[in-house]
Structure 1
Amino acid sequence: MTGATLSELSARARDIFRLVVEGYIASGLPVGSKTLAGSGAVNLSPASIRSVLQELQDAGLLAAPHTSAGRMPTEIGLRLFVDGIMQVAEPSITEREQIERGLASGGTIEAALAAASSALSELSAGAGVIMVPRREARLVQLSFVPLGPARALAVMVAEDGSVENRVLDLPAMAGAGTLEQASNYLTSRLAGRTLAEAVAMIRDEIAGGRSALDAVSADLVQRGLAVWSIDAAQRPVLVVRGQANLLDEAALHDIERVRLLLEELEGAEAIAGVLDAAREAESARIFIGSENRLFSLSGSSVIASPWRDGDGRVVGVVGVIGPTRLNYARVVPMVDFTAQSLSKLIAQDGFSRK
């Protein structure tokens, strides 16, 4: 039998299973029958406890890393514990105050998010990670500056004074007149709009033949928009704090897993994909080990919760990444509380937009 349900376990098997999981989460080490018998929490002999442990192992809920060692939960076992046994408590006053202090530190949105991520990391003993909402600056103009016969510099200026440049290849037959026509057309459509709003309108105009652009200018406009669309998709903005917390005493027994996890944390785009999976959730989602492909090699877990703007739209995700022995009962409510606090500050326009 593999992947037993709670209803298939006897009362004493459930109790022993819970104690093994809680002991493993607390220490990061397998839990043996002598430890359980000596705790006084189980009124059974070590031999009887070993028999129950073997039943739980046969059910796929526990594993024995070594022949003479105790047991530790499998990913299936952890999922059963999280979904059916774990008792979640509200964050303590101290924990709430530490998270709120970080968010109330003022300054830019990035600074406040970094402080909140650091607080989550310290409280959870994992890596705190927050997906920063995409900037939706209102634009002023977009112009093309020739760099040679086949290349140009696209220059986009926003109302907040920020300027971004991208180099792009020119379509065949694109001369000075084409660059000027495309620049004037884009500026007239972009002014006062976000890039997303302008892109939708411009592409609709071009597709419907309402742009009054010739084929070469229309091609240039599409290329000019594409360099920003592609770039934004490939550069997710994340705030990650507390990777050093992953190198605790228990991790010394599993250096290879921690090395893999630290490598995985370097991939911002990949982590953004993991967090995106939580965007539609009402509260925290938990991904354990191989339930998420990115962290299947390191056997790590992710707890993530979406946060929203004043209109209720999801603008980002906050979470904690760490070993599968994360204290889920404690970390889940902290992640949810951080997401709710972020949502409140955004709704109250508590962040500087500079």
Structure 2
Amino acid sequence: MASPPVTELTDRAREIFRLVVEGYLENGLPLGSKALAANGRVNLSPASIRSVLSDLETLGLLAAPHTSAGRMPTESGLRLFVDGMMQVAEPTLEERAVIEQRLAEHGPIEQALEATSAILSDISAAAGVVMVPRRDPHLSQMNLVRLDERRALVVLVGEDGSVENRLLEIAEGTSISELQQATNYITSRLGGRTLSEAARLIGAEISNGQSALDEASRDLVARGLAIWSRDASQRPVLIVRGQANLLDDDALNDIERVRSLIDDLENKQSVSSLLDSAREAKSTRIFIGSENRLFALSGSSVIASPYRDREGRVVGVLGVIGPTRLNYARVVPMVDFTARSLGKLIG
């Protein structure tokens, strides 16, 4: 059932709803009419408050986990609160300085990405995730080293000094000279090209019969390029930190949900696909519970923001994954600021 616009709620209902949501986000517990009446912020009798709570439950904004346990927000209620009622708490100057300092302490961008995921985990008390920029480095050298009769190690060396190792299955009986011939042929055509550019050039030469390779080496090159290109496009590179934060005292009361969430985080391909859906967002995106299928069973929320290089191009996505009772008002602007700070470090 679609939730009503916040403007359709009476002032009294809006205030009670806000107090229930804020109480739940603070301590994870449902709030009842007696507690609401006792805190002095609602000038109504417990009976009148119960009536309003019942109306909010009928609208699908609140739910009662147990008959006498009070109310807590539903996913629809959280969405209404986040979109129409939440007052974000912008990071203080001190918090901004700490984030920028922690990022600046690390040299290579890979270390800055690791630091970013740890920062996100710390500020949210949940799991911090960073999707690494898709890299297609310019290559300077490639080596094929036979490991045994059926496997070879492929060593790709980038012009920036980066090294990638990949395994390639080879036909039984492949000689060292055939591996060397394939190595020399590919390396001679890298010439500062990316792997995808080199793959297109070499593929065209083989298709047009322009290569000087024998049949065995030609097959080795063709299969190798196909595997390397597919591996580069399909392999998600995701940094996740802070899974232990999900195992707090409250989690012990809902261990199955937490176990489901941790299992979901292990599925990095699916998590990367979810984060990737936020690449084109103009601002931070929030997914609550079943709004995304990946975390529907664990009832978790995702706060994700794209980060850009200095030219404004989106190069990756970062965010926070945790229980639906995340402190959205604090975490959303912190995620946004962290994304902007990381972007300043990326050339």
Q: TM-score, normalised by structure 1?
A: 0.86
Note the 1:1-354 alignment, pairs <5 A.
2-145=2-145, 152-170=152-170, 179=179, 182-203=182-203, 219-233=219-233, 235-347=235-347
- For residue 251 of structure 1, report the CA deviation from its aligned partner: 2.3
- For residue 43 of structure 1, report the CA deviation from its aligned partner: 2.0
Q: Provide the rounded CA distance (Å) in 1 between the counterparts of 2:179 and 2:125.
A: 54
Letter in 2 for 1:229: S
Letter in 2 for 1:346: I
Instruction: Report the counterpart of residue 352 of structure 1 in structure 2.
Output: none
Mean CA deviation greater in 21-30 or 262-271: 262-271
Cα deviation digits, residues 40-69 of structure 1 (max 9, x gap)? 222221111111111111111111100101
Letter in 2 for 1:63: A
The answer on whether the counterparts of 1:251 and 1:258 sit within 8 Å (CA) in structure 2 is yes
The answer on whether the counterparts of 2:140 and 2:157 sit within 8 Å (CA) in structure 1 is yes
Cα deviation digits, residues 250-293 of structure 1 (max 9, x gap)? 32322221222222222322222221111111221111111122
Give the direction of change, closer, same or farther, for the CA distance of 1:184–1:4 in structure 2 (3 Å limit).
same
Percentage of identical aligned residues: 67
Cα deviation digits, residues 139-180 of structure 1 (max 9, x gap)? 123344566776554443333445444343447998778656
- 3-state DSSP class of the match of 2:140? strand
| Structure 1 residues without counterparts, runs of 5 or longer | 348-354
- 3-state DSSP class of the match of 1:295? coil
The answer on whether the counterparts of 1:172 and 1:216 sit within 8 Å (CA) in structure 2 is no
Q: Provide the rounded CA distance (Å) in 1 between the counterparts of 2:118 and 2:81.
A: 28
- For residue 309 of structure 1, report the CA deviation from its aligned partner: 1.6
Give the direction of change, closer, same or farther, for the CA distance of 1:105–1:143 in structure 2 (3 Å limit).
closer
The answer on whether the counterparts of 1:2 and 1:58 sit within 8 Å (CA) in structure 2 is no
The answer on whether the counterparts of 1:171 and 1:219 sit within 8 Å (CA) in structure 2 is no
Mean CA deviation greater in 124-133 or 59-68: 124-133
- For residue 235 of structure 1, report the CA deviation from its aligned partner: 3.9
Give the direction of change, closer, same or farther, for the CA distance of 1:257–1:186 in structure 2 (3 Å limit).
same
- 3-state DSSP class of the match of 2:346? helix
Q: TM-score, normalised by structure 2?
A: 0.88
Letter in 1 for 2:127: A
Aligned length: 347
